[in-house]
Every structure is written in structure tokens, then in C-alpha cells.
Chain A
Amino acid sequence: MNPRLGIRRKLDYLIDKFFFSITFLAAVLVPLLLIGILLVFIKEASLAIQTFGFFSFILSPKWDPVFEKFGGAVPLTGTILVASIAVTVGVPIALGIAIFVSEVCPNFLKQPIRLAVDLLAAIPSIVYGLWGLFTLAPIHAKYIEPFLQKVFTPIPLVGKLFEGTLLGIDLFTAGIILSIMIIPFTASITIEAFSLVPRVLKESAYGMGATKWEVIKDVMIPYCRIAIFGGMGLSLGRALGETMAVAFVLGNINRFPESLFSPTTTVTVKLANEFTEADKDIHLSALFYLALLLYVMSLFIIGLSKYLILRVTQK
């Protein structure tokens, strides 16, 4: 045997091992980063965690850099409120779009509509934010909000939600912008899930005389409910972590919102506005504490949603 061939083989073997190792290292970077982010946040937040504890931090509405008193109740509430508004408005619309694309619209419209929905996700959030600040907020302040106020204020209890001065820089505008941004996530996953419904199931329902809506409501939606939940969770996770689109139109005021038309703040908006200006260690640490809470919250929601989606699509 040619001795050179032996060396060649050995070399190949070594190079292969080397290539294996670098691809492996690159892949392991993903879990390392995810855990690393968690550990770094815990370390950076430790000062605030020790000073304020857990419950007194998340329940205290005080955010006072001068007297070094920090509590996350307002931004945490704000985050959850804005995300809930976005999901309440956005998810039904996304489901409507999914139904329209999969069952109603003529074939030649399917691709263009899907493209349009995908592009909604491609527009960067800073562009949404800029547009929200200069275009949508004034429209809201001038036309939409006075109208809503006129309609709803006379109704007891519900009317409370629509009180306040109308500036357009408020919970409502932020929620609406986010609701547009999260449409693609629920919509595309639901469309995909609908396409997995066996034809036979639908045909048998039609055969029994069901109308189109009844087939959708009683056959397709129950069949896809796990994937739909996954899509909704993904939208929620997205809404919780969105920064730039909200930063422009929410006002960053550390006060509980009194109505849909009052400014408030969220975790992300607080981070964006105060992070580089925090000159005291405890202030920065409190911001990292908020980041930690948001990280855990969104990892949990996104992880769960992805798991649900994966379970359905890999069947």
C-alpha cells in the first residue's frame, strides 16, 4: 500500500474531527447564549434583588432614582396591559385572515395576501414607531379617540376606560400599533395548521350539510387548536418584548394608566430610555432586574408556544 495514502487518510480523519468540533462548538453556542443571558442578568441584578427582594420589587410602583427607591409594578403592568390590548385586537384579526386565506379567497389572491402579511413582519419596529409617532398618534388624537370617547363615556364602568386628555401618546395607540405588528405570527402559523387538516374531515362535515363557517368552527379550529394557541403565544411573546414601536408612543411616565388614553411605560421602554443614563449602580441594577423578569417571562411564553407548534407540525 502506498504509505502516502495512509498519511492522507490520517490527515482527512484529523480535519474531519476538527470540522466536527467547530460545527459542534458553533451549535452549542445557542444554549450557552441563552443560559449566559440568564446568568449575566442575575449577576447584574443581584444588587437590586438583595436590596428590594422579589415581591416588594414587583409590587412597588415607586421608581425614584434620586432617593434610590425602585419597584417594577408600573412597567410590568404596562408591559402586560399593552401586550393584552395587542393580542385582544390582533389575534382575532389574524385568525380572520387565516380563515380568509385558507378557505374563502380565490386561489390567485392567496399568494399576494400571504406576501402582504409576511411583509407586515418584515417592516422594522423602528419604522412602525416613527410612523406611529408622526402619523398614527395625531390621527388618533384628532379623530379616533374623540369618537371613541363620545360613544363610550356615557356607558357606566366601560366609560371609565375612555376618559382622559387625548394626546395620542397613550396605551391605546401603542396597543394598536403592536396589534398590527403581531398579526403575521398568529396568521402564518394558523394558515399552516389549517393546511394540515385532513380533507376527509372537512368533506364529511360538508357531506352532513354543514355550512362553510360551521366546518371552520366545528372541524378546523378544534383540529388546529393547539397550533393556534401556539401562534397566539408567539404573538404575545413578541408583543411583550417589542421596544422601538412602543417607545415612541407610550410616553415613558412611571404612573399606572387610568384609562386607555393615558401614557404609561413598559419594561422595554424603561430600558430604552434610562439604561444609558443610569449613573447609579442601584439604578442600573434595577433596570437589569426588570430585564431579567422580562427575559424569564418571554422565554417561558415563547418556549411553550414553540413547543406546542412543533408538536403539531412534526406529526
Chain B
Amino acid sequence: MRERVLKIRKLTSAVILTITALCALWGIFWLFFVIFDVIRNGIASINLSLFLETPTPPGVPGGGLKHAFIGHFLITLGAISLGIPIGILAGTFLAEYGRNYRISKVISYLADTMITVPAILIGAFVYAIMVKPLGSFSGWSGSVALAIIMLPVVIRATEHMLKLVPWTMREAAFALGAPYYKVILQVLYPATRMGLLTGAILAIAREIGEAAPLLFTSFNNNFLSYDMSGPMASLTVTIFVYAMGPYDYWHSQAWAAAFVIAMTILILNFIARIILKGGKHYY
């Protein structure tokens, strides 16, 4: 009798542990399914004219997404130049000047919460504070929305990296008479530069695939535009519009754009991992 109970218990354990293995397979299956499907459909529609030509009038096959590539690049550049410096400064406050303040703990917690706030709501917020008062969709407002999305990621990464630097290193600099800002600028930032770079790369990887915050801010534009104060096309919004549209060549261009975005993000993620592994600095 006891032996039978033991057998049943062992069997239950084995069955359930096998199920957990199937769970892992399930997750990996979808990952490969999505990635391979994007590669298969994307590569088939990638060609030079995708990058070099502007769109044809709707319904006329051909053309490319040059306008969306340039728009996406400019909006991202704007977001990076806003989000990363502010994020690094804020992270510096949390890890250095404000280390012992209670408010820093609260802000860290809020930044953590902010990471998961629905992106589309950030878009609606920027619409209300920028697009509505200024009277027009603009590339700049898209940059602001994306910067808000990057901000908490950069803050948390910076804070984390700075806190990894041993306290004695700061003390050594203090002992030489260096004021705190010099310690931060000349000792801590150089010591953590690889870590800060990784944080920035991961934040860019996160923001570059966002479509929802751009829908109400940079909106869309069927023409090539370098004017950040007017509506601007982006790859992600173009994917949305083209995929929902009726033409087959739109669909294949949407796949191509998705391929470019997904690959960029995967590559950025791998670069970040390689830097973290290879760094002999304080991460």
C-alpha cells in the first residue's frame, strides 16, 4: 500500500514536471514562430527601393518607405536627445545626491510603475499638452512622447549602475578635495560608462518599436518631410496604416518595415548583452 502511494506521488511529480517542460517549449515555439514569420515575410519584400523611394499614390504598386525611415529616425533622435540626458541626471540624483532622502525611494518606485503605464495613454497626454495647444501634429510631440516612455527605463538603469560603484571610490575622490559634481562627472560616469551605454541602448530598443504613442502625436504623413514641427511618418505607424489598408503591396511593405524594426531591436538587445558580459568596468 505505502509503495503504491509513493509510486503515485512520484508519477504525479514526473507528469507535472514534464508539463513545465512543455510550457517552456510553448514559449519558445511562439518566439520562433513570430520571428521566423517576420523574417520570411519581411525578406521577401525587402529591396532597395523600399529604402530609397517615397510612396506611390495609394493603389499604385511600387514605391518605398523612405519617408517613414527618415521620419522614424528623426523622431527617435529627438526622443534620445531628450530622454537619455534627463534620465541620466534623474538617476544620478536618486543614486548620489538624494541617496538618503526618502523621496528618492518614492521616485524610484514611481519610475518603476511608470515603465508599465500604457504607452497609448502617454500619447493621449502629449496630444493634450502639445498637439492641441499648438494646433498641429508634429514630429517634436512624437519625440516628447517617446522620451517620456524612455525616461523611467534610463533612470532605473542609471541608478542601478551608479549604486554598483563601491563607496570607497567616491571617498578616494572626496579625499583629494573634489566637489561632488566633479566626482560624478570625472569618476563615476567614466567608471560606469559601459553600464550607462547599455541602459541607453535598452531604452532605445524599447522605444523604437512603439507605435501607440505616435498615433496622436507625430501622426502620419504620406510625403517625405524633414520638418519636425509638422506631422511625420514613422515606420511603426506606417505598419499600422498599411496593414489595415486594402492593398497587397501595402501589406508586404508593412512586413518589410516590421522586419527592419524587429531586427534592429534584436540586434540592440544582443549588443547590450555583449557589452554587459565583456565589460570589466563596474557594469
| Binary interface encoding of chain A residues 7-48 relative to chain B, with 1 for a CB under 8 A from any of its CBs, else 0 | 000001101101110111011111101101100110110000
Asked if B21 is an interface residue, CB under 8 A from chain A, the answer is yes
Contact across chains for B118 and A24 when beta carbons are under 8 A apart: no
Closest-CB distance, B259 to chain A (whole angstroms): 9
Please tell me if A117 contacts chain B, counting CB pairs below 8 Å. yes
Q: Which residues of B contact A27 (CB under 8 A)?
A: 89-91, 93-94, 98, 104, 107, 155
Q: Contact: A302 with B113, CB < 8 Å?
A: yes
**B24 close to A100 (CB less than 8 A):** yes
Q: Is A286 an interface residue (CB 8 A)?
A: no
Q: Is B69 located at the chain interface by the 8 A CB criterion? A: no
- Given A23-B97, A214-B13, A237-B116, is A31 in contact with B236 using a C-beta cutoff of 8 Å? no
Q: Does A148 contact B (CB under 8 A)?
A: no
Task: State the total of A-B contacts with C-beta under 8 angstroms.
Answer: 261
Contact B90 A30 (CB under 8 A): yes
Q: Are A116 and B31 in contact (CB under 8 A)?
A: yes
Is A271 an interface residue, CB under 8 A from the partner? yes
**Shortest beta-carbon distance, B91 to chain A, in Å?**
8
A244→B240 contact, CB < 8 A: yes
Across the interface, do A41 and B116 meet the contact criterion of CB distance under 8 Å?
Answer: no
Whether B34 and A40, one on each chain, are in contact in the complex, defined by CB atoms closer than 8 angstroms, is: no
Does B111 sit within 8 A of A, measured CB to CB? Answer: yes
- B72 CB → nearest A CB, Å: 12
Contact between B20 and A125, CB atoms less than 8 A apart: no
A248 at the interface (CB under 8 A from B): yes
Cα distance A85–B38 in the bound complex, in angstroms? 25
A304 vs B10: C-alpha distance when bound (angstroms): 38
Using CB atoms, name the residue of chain B closest to A310.
B109
Q: Which of A53-61, A62-70, A221-229, A290-298 lies at the binding interface?
A: A290-298
Q: Are B119 and A126 in contact (CB under 8 A)?
A: no
Give A contacts to B, CB under 8 Å: 12-13, 15-16, 18-20, 22-24, 26-31, 33-34, 36-37, 40-41, 43-44, 92-97, 99-101, 103-105, 113, 116-120, 122-131, 133-135, 180, 183, 187, 211-214, 234, 237-238, 240-244, 247-248, 268, 271-272, 275-276, 287-288, 291, 294-295, 298-299, 302-303, 306-307, 310
| 24 A-B residue pairings within 8 Å (CB atoms) | A13-B179, A19-B180, A23-B93, A27-B93, A31-B106, A96-B20, A103-B17, A129-B240, A130-B38, A130-B239, A130-B243, A134-B251, A213-B13, A241-B118, A243-B118, A248-B243, A268-B212, A272-B215, A275-B124, A288-B124, A291-B121, A298-B116, A298-B117, A302-B113
Other 14 A-B pairs with CB < 8 A, given A37-B117, A105-B21, A275-B215: A20-B97, A23-B92, A27-B104, A33-B151, A97-B24, A100-B24, A119-B31, A119-B269, A241-B116, A248-B244, A272-B120, A272-B215, A288-B128, A306-B109
